[in-house]
Chains A and B, each alone.
Chain A
Amino acid sequence: MQRSGTARAIQPLVAFVYIDPSVGSLILQVLAAAVLSVVAFVGNCRRAVRAFFSRLTRRPQ
C-alpha cells in the first residue's frame, strides 16, 4: 500500500511518452533530484561563503 501511495504522488507524465519509464525509476528520480538539489545548494552556499571571506582577506592588501 505504501508503495502505490508513493507512486501516486508523482506528477502525471506527459502525453506522448511511448516508453515505459518504470515507477521505481520515477520515484528514485524524485528522491535523488531532491538530494542532489540540496547538495548543489550547500555547495553554492559554501562557495559564496568562501568568496565572501576571500574578498575580506584580500581587502587590506
Chain B
Amino acid sequence: MPRLGGSFRDPSGFVFTAGGTLYRQVNRVFADEFDACTREGLYDALIGEQLLVPHQRVDLSLAATPEAHAVIAPDVVPFVSHPYEWCFGELRDAALLTIDIQLRALERGFVLRDASAHNVQFAAGRPVFIDTLSFERYRDGAPWAAYQQFCEHFLVPLALMATRDSRFGLMLREHLDGIPLQFGSALLPSRTWADPRLLLHVHLHARAQRRYANATISTEIGGRKLAKSALVSLVSNLRNAVTALSWRPDGTEWADYTSATNYSDASALRKRELVLEYLRRVQPGVVWDLGANTGVYSRIAREVAPMVVAFDADPAAVERNYRDVRAQSDQGLLPLVLDLKNPSPALGWAHHERMSLVERGPADTVMALALVHHLALSGNVPLEDIAAFFARLGRTLIVEFVAKVDSQAQRLLRNRPDIFPDYTSAGFERAFGQYFVIADCQRVGDAERWLYLMTRREPPSA
C-alpha cells in the first residue's frame, strides 16, 4: 500500500492509498490523543465549522501496518497545491485558518502540535486544514511548540510579500520548512522594526533564537509555566499580526493584461463562444487553465467543468483572481501562481515530498489561450516542445495560435530579430499534430488568431 511521499515525519500516523481510496492510519502511539479528540468533539466541531477536512472512520482491517490503532478515510482535496504556488491572499487565509484552529483547539483543551503551511489545502473555494492528527491535549503550562514553525511558514513570508515584493512567496519553494527567522529578519525592511508585532514575532524572535542556539531544555526540571490565558493572548496577537499585513495587487503588466488586449468586441465575443463550445463538446471534469491571468476564461470553463485550476506566473493577476473567487464564493476555481517556463518540480526528501505539476495531472482538458506565442517568441521554447509538454499535462487541449502579424505577437518581436521561421500556422499544426489529433480549428472573428480543439494521441512516455 503506497504511503504518500510527504507523509513520513509524524510518528503518530501516515497517509496512504489503497484501491484508489485515500486513507490515514493512526498509530497506536497516538491512540490516546486521537481518541480524546474524537470523544471530546474537537473533530466534529472543526469539521462543522468547515475548518478541518471531514473524515470517516473505516474498518481497522484496512490498516497498512500492524501498528494501527485506527484508520480514517478523509475527503479528497480535488487538487493538491503547494504554499509556494499561493498568492498573498491565499497564504494569508491559510495562516488565519491555522491560527483560528489553534484558538478553537485551545478553547476545547487541545493544541495544534505543528503549524506547517503544507497542512492547509484549498477546497470549495476556501482553505481547509487537512492534517487530522495535528492535535493533542493541551498540557497546563506548556508553551506552543509550533510557534516558531508558524512564524517561519506564514508570518515571515507574508511580511516579506507585503513589505518587499509579492514574489518573495516563491522562496517557500526553496525553504520547504519555512523561511528561517534570522534570514527573514535580515530581509525585511528596517521600518518593520517599528511595527510592534513584527518586532516581537520576527525580529526579537530571530534574536532570541540566535542567543539561545546552544541552550537545551531539560525535560526533567519543571519550572516556569505559560498560563493558558497568556498563550491565548500570544496566539491572538499573532492573528492580529497576520491580519495587519496587506498587499495591493497592481502595477504589473499581466494584472492589467485582459483590459489591454487587441481584440475587437466581436472577436472577443467569438472567442468566448468558441471556448464554451469546445468545452461543451469535451465535458471535462477538471480543467487546467494555463496563463489564466485574472481568470476570465477560467470562469467560462466553470460553466461546464466542476473544477478549474487557473495558473499564472503573475502574483498580482492571481491575487485578483483569488479575491474574485472569494467574493463570488466560487467553489470550483483555484487560482495558483506558476511560471510555465519553470513549473513546480518534485521537491523535498527523495523528490517525493511535494509533487511536481506533471505528477498532479493529467487534467481532462488543458486550456492555453494567448499563451503559446509568449512561450515561443519570448521564451524561445520550440513549438514541438510546447506541444510535448502540453500532452503530458492534459488529455484534451484548447489552444490558441496567435499569428506573427498580430499586434501582440509583434510587440514581442519589436526589439529583437525574428529568429522563429517555424512559427507559422503550418508549423504550429505540424508540431502539435505529432502529439494531438486536431479535432477542430476556428478563426477568432477577424483577429489573426485561431482556436484549436485537440485530443491527445496517446499517453506520452514519462
Residues of A in contact with B (beta carbons under 8 Å apart)? 3-4, 6-14, 16-19, 21-30, 32-34, 36-37, 39-40
Closest A residue to B229 by CB, please name it.
A37
User: Which A-chain residue is minimally distant from B116 (CB atoms)?
Assistant: A19
* A27 in complex: contacting residue of B11, B136, B139, B212, CB < 8 Å: B212
User: Contacts A13-B145, A14-B145, A40-B233: A30 and B226 contacting too (C-beta < 8 A)?
Assistant: yes
- With A4-B215, A24-B211 already in contact, the answer to whether A11 and B222 are too (CB < 8 A) is yes
User: Interface centre among A4, A8, A22, A25, by most B CB within 10 Å?
Assistant: A25
Q: Do B114 and A11 touch across chains, with their CB atoms under 8 A apart?
A: no
* Contact status B215-A23, CB under 8 Å: yes
Complex CA–CA separation, A11 to B111 (angstroms): 15
| In the complex with contacts A14-B145, A32-B200, A36-B233, A24-B11 CB distance below 8 A | no
A residues less than 8 Å from B234 (CB atoms): 29, 32-33, 36
Q: List 14 contacting pairs A-B, 8 Å CB cutoff, sorted by A.
A: A8-B217, A8-B221, A11-B139, A11-B224, A12-B217, A13-B217, A14-B113, A24-B208, A26-B143, A28-B200, A30-B226, A33-B231, A37-B230, A40-B233
B113 near A22 (CB under 8 angstroms)?
no
| CA–CA, A4 and B217, complex, Å | 8
With A28-B204, A28-B209 already in contact, 15 other A-B pairs whose C-beta atoms are closer than 8 Å: A3-B211, A6-B215, A11-B223, A13-B217, A18-B9, A19-B145, A19-B149, A22-B148, A23-B213, A23-B215, A25-B208, A28-B205, A33-B233, A36-B230, A36-B234
With a CB–CB cut-off of 8 A, which chain B residues contact A11?
139, 141-143, 222-226
What's the Cα separation between A13 and B114 when bound, in Å? 13
- Chain B CB within 10 A, most for which of A6, A19, A27, A34: A19
Q: Whose C-beta in chain B lies nearest to the C-beta of A30?
A: B226
Residue of A nearest to B10 (CB): A18
Residue of A with least CB distance to B140 = A11
Alpha-carbon distance A33/B237, docked complex (angstroms): 9
Please report the C-alpha to C-alpha distance between residue A33 and residue B147 in the assembled complex, in whole angstroms: 12
Pairs of residues from A and B, 8 with the lowest C-beta to C-beta distance, nearest first = A33-B230, A24-B208, A24-B209, A24-B212, A25-B148, A9-B223, A28-B208, A7-B215
Residues on the B chain within 8 Å of A39, using CB: 233
In whole angstroms, what is the CA distance A33 to B221 when docked? 21
Range class of the B interface residue count: 35 or more
Q: Which residue of B lies closest to A40 (CB)?
A: B233
| Interface residue B30 (Cβ < 8 Å from any Cβ of A) | yes
With A and B bound together, what is the CA distance between A18 and B204 in angstroms?
Answer: 24
Q: How far is the CB of A40 from the nearest CB of chain B, in Å?
A: 5
Q: Which residues does chain B contribute within 8 Å of A34, judged by CB atoms?
A: 230
Q: Please indicate the chain B residues that have their CB under 8 angstroms from the CB of A6 in the complex.
A: 212, 215
**Does B227 sit within 8 A of A, measured CB to CB?**
yes
Selected contact of B147 from candidates A29, A36, A37, CB within 8 Å: A29
- B219 sits at the interface (CB 8 A): yes
Closest residue of chain A to B201 (Cβ to Cβ) is: A32
Given A10-B223, A18-B10, A23:B212 Cβ within 8 A: yes
Contacts of B227 in A (CB 8 A): 33, 37
Whether B33 is near chain A, meaning CB under 8 Å from some CB there, is: yes
CA gap between A46 and B134 in the complex, in Å: 38
B412 beta carbon closer than 8 Å to chain A: no
Do B210 and A10 touch across chains, with their CB atoms under 8 A apart?
no
B145/A36 in contact, CB under 8 A: no
Give the residues in chain B near A7, CB-CB below 8 Å: 212, 215-218
Q: Are A12 and B224 in contact (CB under 8 A)?
A: no
- Please determine whether B12 and A21 come into contact, CB atoms closer than 8 angstroms: no
Among B11, B12, B205, the residue within 8 A (CB) of A25 is B205
Closest to A26 in B: B143
Minimum CB–CB distance from A31 to chain B (whole Å) comes to: 8
Cβ contact within 8 Å between B30 and A3: no
Q: Which residues of chain A are near B247, meaning CB under 8 Å?
A: none
- Given the contacts A12-B217, A14-B142, A18-B11, A29 and B211 also touching, CB distance less than 8 Å: no
Query: What's the nearest-Cβ distance from chain B to residue A11, in Å?
Result: 4
Asked whether any CB of chain A lies closer than 8 Å to the CB of B77, the reply is no
With a cutoff of 8 Å between Cβ atoms, the chain A residues found around residue B223 in the complex are: 8-11
- List chain B residues, Cβ under 8 A from A33: 143, 226-227, 230-231, 233-234
Partner pick for B30 among A4, A12, A16, A30, CB 8 A cutoff? A16
B29 on the interface (CB 8 Å rule)? yes
How close is B141's CB to chain A, nearest CB, in angstroms? 4
- Give Cα A35–Cα B226 distance, bound, in whole angstroms: 12
Q: Is the Cβ of B136 less than 8 Å from the Cβ of A9?
A: no
Whole-angstrom CA separation of A39 from B240 in the bound complex: 14
Q: Hey, which chain A residues are within 8 Å of B217, CB to CB? A: 7-8, 10, 12-13, 23, 26
Q: Are B114 and A19 in contact (CB under 8 A)?
A: yes
Within 8 A of A (CB), among B181-219: 200-201, 204-205, 207-219
